[in-house]
Chains A and B, each alone.
Chain A
């Protein structure tokens, strides 16, 4: 809830919803808390229609939540701004990429459509995806409606998509239906009419004019009341698993990574944020054999013993059924991974000596300045500098222990401690600000070279159309020469710069995801501090606003 957090959220919203009204409405709601529609109309100088439209769009995306006003018991609807959900926009590209890796083009487009539209019915989704595939030039035989529907089914069964039904009585508030294991695939069956329409549109897609297809009455596809949306938690869990596998591969070797991947895949059946269900050794061996990874049982046992010793001991043996039962404890895994990120940050920013001090403090608990100087084998002055810069950045906390009743500085011990939670908070803030900075720079460069970029786009469009119409090579060359060589060079540099910024942003989202997951898991076990006085009241207020 820091400035950078909010700033980033609005930057992201501005990207996705370029009209100014959404940003204004959202920022006003963020400042004032939940408000009813009437107040919004009164306070903002925007016509009510526009406000309503932007509220509707944002609500479909869950960025603005509607709930009933419980206090006054009236039937008014309050609109609240959901900051957390806005930041999920950061991870859109990663989610699409995951879908592409797991489910091919069909899956990728399904997820992309859903992300851009918030919630949709399956029927509309199938139609749009199909049309996009055809336009992109894919073979309609391979990517038929049936295949798209199959991908959709797979996505639902893997719980990447969530189902939503509309509550009849409160028709403007939707509730999410939790998909339990029993009613697993409640894919609505499209009615006969619907199928006929879709199939007919598939066959005569390019030739017939559109008048023939349009019927006077609206079509009923059979799933009017069932909407679907993307299940972000599931995607985040998948990304977290990928990070964990990568960590194990770095530490031990490729085979260890594969074993961990198998364990995690076997536990996807019932995902939970804290830990996985127990998996027995025999199951692991069987799955690995079917997956084609050749490993005899002895070797597998050796690897598992090694895995148990690594990455903060996150793979734990809980019993002996089936030759050993193992679970993955995500709390430990995430704290191990975030520790690695923080250590890398400290190493690059302050130097390896500072990292040494940090690790020493973590092992020993609390140390005074003098003790640090003695134990770290570093120059005393340097050690002091490192300790204080880390303290300013929030990685260390200071504890005062007084010998006397008054906190006389000469008679008090000052101990430094490592606080992982605070460190993660400050690193997360840092990442948010970096993300905003990168986005700003991207925007600025685009504005600065707008003319050049426009020119290049026009040239590209002309060339593309020429190639489609099989124009001559000479013509194409002429068009290309509109851009002088210096401009071409500039454009190339610009492209390279944009690519670099995008890559940096993408990698940064991985870190942000990891840090946020760590915070959410450890919120329940945040370090308890003595709370007295006005500071405690302020903290309590912050907690309640964060939870909202």
Chain B
């Protein structure tokens, strides 16, 4: 169609040469208005039909100018094969237009593409290698692009807490997702073992106190003793937050992970009951209770051999023997 038009149009342009001077600017604004009317995109055909007065060349140059000003997007139509759609670019995203692009057209295209990818990864960020595979740019060019975008304060690099060498890029004002920074237990990309330990001890102490209380209250009834020594995770969260050990307020999930480590230590046990109130766990209440161990210590470790660091090297006739073992000497007071 375009070609047939091309043959006819040159005849028309000669007649409307005087008005063609105004047409470029008007054409652009009218194209923009048309695009605004159809936010899903204006096809080539519609443009042709709307602007019969303009030549194809004028239209094409107007469209190119609009594209370079980043006011519209060029898209391929999915409904009709081979045609193009022009879509108004979101003004909220007019940041693109504020990019003062220097250095020529190709770099700014690449920057735009890279910027688009980074934006799509939202708060998880995207790794450099992924950008490379998606855009198929070479490393050097990609590095330059990323550097320029960083200097324009559009994207930033965030170090992951799990792999310290890996950097992901995300938009400047995005807050990184908790999976990268580590969440409550990590501060400055370091695991806060001390904090976790303190919380651990506090929870254990609270549960132990509750157990002692229940023993005092019900010395004769074991069942009541057991039920009254339970504390729910919500109760524990409120207590811990009141104590003010942590600078941030902890959620039920956080406390439950601390309590899970206490279960693994063998100090407490857990039961789940249905609850009437709708809370974070959703109709389930987790109860915890301090327990007494089955065995205070195994006889295997009651003698020095159980915890001897050189146990494997100890032989009958060697440098390390039971006959002259210094640990045994100490144990027997020799």
Chain A contact residues, CB within 8 Å of chain B? 247, 250-253, 255-256, 299, 302-303, 305-306, 311, 336-337, 340-345, 348-349, 352, 355-357, 359-360, 363, 376-380, 427, 430-431, 433-434, 436-438, 440-441, 444, 493, 496-497, 500-501, 504, 507-508, 510-511
Contacts and interface: CB of A to CB of B under 8 A. Distances in A.
B221 A377 contact: no
Interface stretch (B1-9, B87-95, B241-249, B258-266): B258-266
B333 A344 contact: no
Contacts of A360: 264
B297 interface: yes
Contacts of A508: 299-300, 303
Residue from B265, B294, B314, B333 having most chain A Cβ neighbours under 10 A: B294
A360 B299 CA distance: 24
Contacts of A379: 191, 193
A464 B193 CA distance: 65
B323 to A, nearest CB: 4
Given A303-B222, A344-B295, A348-B297, A376 B303 contact: no
A345 B305 contact: no
A529 to B, nearest CB: 25
B196 to A, nearest CB: 5
B216 interface: no
A518 to B, nearest CB: 13
Interface string B217-230: 00011110010000
Nearest to B215: A253
A311 B334 CA distance: 41
B301 A345 contact: yes
A345 B298 contact: yes
Interface stretch (B13-21, B51-59, B105-113, B324-332): B324-332
Contacts of B193: 377-379
Counting contact residues on chain B (CB < 8 A from A), the size range is: 35 or more
A349 B297 CA distance: 12
Interface string B301-334: 1110111000100101000011101001001111
Given A253-B222, A340-B293, A340-B298, A444 B305 contact: no
A497 B334 CA distance: 9
Contact of B221 (A299, A356, A357): A299
A360 B291 CA distance: 18
Contacts of B295: 247, 250, 337, 340-341, 344
Given A427-B300, A436-B322, A497-B334, 7 more contacts: A342-B298, A343-B266, A348-B301, A357-B264, A430-B300, A437-B314, A511-B299
Given A377-B185, A377-B196, A430 B291 contact: no
B165 interface: no
B136 interface: no
18 contacts: A250-B294, A251-B294, A253-B222, A306-B226, A311-B294, A344-B297, A355-B264, A355-B265, A356-B264, A359-B263, A377-B193, A430-B305, A433-B311, A434-B300, A496-B332, A504-B299, A504-B302, A511-B300
A348 B314 CA distance: 19
B61 interface: no
A450 to B, nearest CB: 15
A493 B298 contact: no
Contacts of A437: 305, 314, 322, 325, 328
Ranked nearest first, the 7 interchain pairs of A and B with the lowest CB-CB distance are A507-B299, A344-B298, A348-B301, A437-B322, A359-B264, A434-B305, A497-B332
Contacts of A377: 185, 193, 196, 257-258, 261
Contact of A355 (B266, B299, B316): B266
A345 B300 contact: yes
